[in-house]
Structure 1
Amino acid sequence: MAEQQTPSNPPLVSVLIPARDAAETLGETLSSLLAQSFTDFAVVLVDDGSTDETREIAKHFAGHFPKGQFQIVEGPAKGISSALNAGLAVIKSPLVARLDADDLSEPRRLERQVRIMERNPDWLLCGTEVSVIDESGQIIDQMECPKTTVEIRKRLYEKCCLYHPTIMFRRDAVMEVGGYRSQYDGAEDYDLYLRLLEYGKIGALNERLVRYRIHPGQVTAQRGRPYRMMADMVLLAAIARLHEEEEPEFTKDTLAADLSSALRAELKERGFLEITPKVARHMAVRIKRANAKAKRLKGLLFQKNALAGNYKEAAKALMA
């Protein structure tokens, strides 16, 4: 349930922020939005079961935004996709910008993304490059993304190459493909990108417009990097759709129970026929690191590359 109602004429952009126990960083995040050069936007913050002062901080900042342009939505506390879908359900703006409760938008972020989306009506989604910050907010690194829609499409069928807190998308397009899918939490953004690619283009700005915070508690820092195996499952599902095959049917619970076994079984069924050798080898390595038997998969990968005369990849397959 939203604590404030949207105005009768929705703004051009709504910034969608899921938050759970984000009291330490939320104030800085919302301050970065108050500093935006573009002003025709609203904030939809989904409080997804917080037990700290997240809600109180959000209420405080709501008073700094124009009336009706800051909503606090009660999240279902069932994971990131469910929280994002709860926010999308109340948004009426044609454009939605994502931001996490510990990341920062540069002052011209919304302005630059709105402009490029208006100039490219066939783009369904636009990302940006990022500056990496540490827990104290100091810039420690930079991360790039592909520069053209053609390169983005190619790279997305190899790995996720866009940063979720940077994206701006057309709400109608995301709703048309079904929103976020909770069974792929951890790689829910990658799953969304690949489904959108089946209907239109995805672009990116060659500018660092978001400050992306790295800290020990985030998903990408988890031991064994299970999010990468989840991303592999997302990619296999997309490849199945491309070839007009049924995609894997998994629930969030079955994937959480044994993700490595699910990935191994799916690769064993489909083989490596539609996957580049490099991507297939990396999938096999991740299965091995999860302590799942991959002997049969290594044999298939070696055989495929050897028959194709790709002896370098065949040798790497044996060493995986």
Structure 2
Amino acid sequence: MNKVVLLIPYYNNSDGLMKSLRSIDHDEELDVMIVDDGSLNKFDEDTALLSFKAKGKLFFEYLESNKGIETALNTGLKIIIEKQYQYVARLDCGDICLGKRFEIQEKFLNENPGVKIVGSNVIAVDSNDNFLYSINLPLRDRDIKNKMYFNCMLIHPAVMFSVEILKVVGLYPLNHKSAEDYAFFFTISKSYEMANMNQYLTQIEINEKGISVQRRKQQVKSRIKIIKENFYFGFYPIYGLFRNYILMLLPYRFILFLKKIKK
């Protein structure tokens, strides 16, 4: 068994799943846990096995009905804990790995034992793989934790974290719809050191039919709730609340335009 397992939640996106599996470098040493969240459009296990060329095994778990990404992720994490992996990484269907992403992140965590979760810079593309913008994140723990009050400073499908922290922080919360990762990372930030790598290790797909776009207002409302739960009187929380209230009023296309001109 490998030390690293990749957790991929699946819901009605067979082409995206195969694209993600094919992007994993052949020399990577990791297993993959795919959790089907009660999909109607099932993927073919044989095609998945053929798409995955790395040095590891694929595991499949199927939920009887659609429970939401938080439940799918937690289902996978419970199995991962039982199997006693050391590190768990994340990827979403349609997103792809750049270079030997998992080897690089595993090495970083091994060489920096104080850090328990690491992300990376990310390239964003549309559903046709056309470049939209790049996301450059703060690298150091203090900067990440301060700017978490503005927005999530770890890109969910680009992270790898130590399984041991789940004993303290628990699983993904179920009461922050469309922002479960933001709440999860905030909980981690209270007890552990965080980092991002100054490399583009993941390419994410911005899909107009995806949760981040269709449920953007719900996502921002959840983000505001999380900021309030972690609030203290200081510049970062106050500015973060103000910023997110403004974002809730702005149309998505305008926000996308601002991200593109910053690239």
TM-score, reference length from structure 1: 0.70
**What's the CA shift for 1:283?**
4.5
Task: Note if 1:21 corresponds to 2:12.
Answer: yes
- SS at 2:230's partner residue? helix
* Structure 1 residue aligned with 2:240: 279
Q: How many residues align?
A: 246
- The 1:288–1:24 alpha-carbon spacing in structure 2 relative to 1, beyond 3 Å, is closer
Cα shift at 1:229: 1.4
Tell whether the 8 Å contact from 1:13 to 1:96 is kept in structure 2 after alignment.
Answer: yes
Match of 2:213 in 1: 221
Question: Paired residue for 2:114?
Answer: 122
Alpha-carbon distance between aligned partners in 2 of 1:177 and 1:164, rounded to the nearest angstrom: 16
- Alpha-carbon distance, 1:278 to partner: 2.1
Aligned to 1:74: 62
Partner of 1:87: 76
1:284-303 CA-partner distances (Å, limit 9, x unpaired): 446777xxxxxxxxxxxxxx
| Structure 1: gaps (5+ residues) | 1-9, 244-271, 290-320
Cα distance in 1 for residues equivalent to 2:105 and 2:54: 22
Structure 1 residue 281, shift from structure 2 partner:
2.3
Measured after TM superposition, the shift of residue 153 of structure 1 is: 1.4
Match for residue 190 of structure 2 among 183, 198, 207: 198
Q: Distance in 2 between matches of 1:287 and 1:210?
A: 27
Alpha carbons of 1:61 and 1:174: their partners in 2 closer, same or farther (altered >3 Å)? same
Give the aligned partner of residue 44 of structure 1: 33
Query: 1:67 Cα shift?
Result: 9.4
AA at the equivalent of 1:126? V
Identity of counterpart residues, as a percentage?
Answer: 24
For the pair 1:154 / 2:146, whether they are aligned, the reply is yes
Stretch deviating more after TM superposition (217-226 or 125-134): 217-226
Letter in 1 for 2:48: F
Could you list the per-position Cα deviations for residues 184-237 of structure 1 after superposition, in whole angstroms to 9, with x for gaps in the alignment?
A: 131111111111111110101011100100111112212663211111111222
Go from structure 1 to structure 2 and tell me whether the alpha carbon gap of 1:137 and 1:283 turns closer, same or farther (over 3 Å shift): closer
Q: Secondary structure at 2:99's aligned position in 1?
A: coil
Over 3 Å counting, the alpha-carbon distance change for 1:206 and 1:189 in structure 2 is same
Kept in 1: contact 2:28–2:103 (CA 8 A) = yes
Report the Cα offset of residue 26 of structure 1.
1.4
Distance 1:68 1:223, change over 3 A: closer
Question: Relative to 1, partners in 2 of residues 1:142 and 1:70: Cα closer, same or farther, differing over 3 Å?
Answer: same
Give the CA deviation at 1:116.
Answer: 0.6
Q: Is the 8 A contact 1:229 1:286 kept in 2?
A: no
1:136 equivalent in structure 2:
128
- Larger relative CO (CA 8 A, sep 6+): 1 or 2? 2
1:4 alignment counterpart? none
Q: How large is the RMSD of aligned CA atoms in angstroms?
A: 2.4
Contiguous gaps of at least 5 residues in structure 2? 251-263
Looking at structure 1, the residues matched to 92 and 167 of structure 2 have their Cα atoms a distance apart, in angstroms, of: 20
- Length-normalised TM-score, structure 2: 0.85
AA at the equivalent of 1:282: R
**Aligned partners of 2:174 and 2:180 also within 8 Å:** yes
1:19/1:101 contact within 8 Å kept? yes
Corresponding residue SS for 2:23: helix
